[in-house]
């Protein structure tokens, strides 16, 4: 029971990390395309992408990092993740497209760091 739960949690950290990296690539790509070439804005900057992404990130952070924090008792990953989610939320509220991408990149980077830290703390717990 416990081991299958931690298996799922470890998977979630990996999924959360992959999604964060994907979104960072998406945001950087969007910035380059829109700022450099002036194309693709309406499609790539579809706000639905980040709205869905933020909801997924919140759920994955809550389950993987929230539950992880309860086990390894290190508050740092959760605090970093919450900051990241706040930046992602601020990005969505940003009035301009470039600002949205920059804020979102900061946000997903923080969320990615939080997942890495969470995995590391859990790993240490396993081998303690």
Of residues 68 through 97, those in contact with Zn ion by CB under 5 A are: none
Helices 76-93 & 47-60, crossing angle to 10 degrees? Answer: 160
Minimum CB distance to Zn ion, residue 62 (Å): 20
Residue 23 contacts Zn ion per CB under 5 A: yes
Closest CA to 56 of 44, 64, 67: 64
Minimum CB distance to Zn ion, residue 22 (Å): 8
- Please say whether the beta carbons of 20 and 57 come within 8 A: yes
Out of 12, 17, 19, 27, which residue is the one contacting Zn ion (CB under 5 A)? Answer: 27
Name which of 58 and 67 has its Cβ closer to Zn ion.
Answer: 58
Minimum CB distance to Zn ion, residue 4 (Å): 32
Of residues 34 through 73, those in contact with Zn ion by CB under 5 A are: none
**Any alpha helices (H) in the chain, and if so which ranges?**
2-31, 41-44, 47-60, 67-72, 76-93, 97-126
Both tokens assigned to 21? 């990296």
Interacting residues toward Zn ion by CB under 5 A:
23, 26-27
């Amino acid at each position: 029971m416990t081991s299958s739960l931690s298996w799922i949690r470890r998977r979630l950290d990996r999924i959360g990390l992959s999604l964060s990296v994907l979104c960072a690539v998406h945001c950087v790509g969007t910035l380059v395309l829109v700022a450099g070439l002036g194309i693709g804005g309406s499609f790539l900057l579809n706000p639905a992408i980040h709205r869905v992404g933020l909801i997924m990130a919140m759920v994955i952070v809550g389950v993987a990092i929230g539950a992880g924090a309860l086990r390894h008792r290190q508050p740092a990953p959760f605090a970093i993740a919450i900051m990241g989610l706040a930046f992602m939320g601020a990005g969505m509220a940003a009035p301009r497209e470039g600002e949205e991408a920059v804020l979102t990149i900061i946000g997903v980077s923080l969320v990615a760091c939080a997942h890495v830290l969470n995995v590391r703390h859990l790993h240490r717990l396993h081998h303690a």
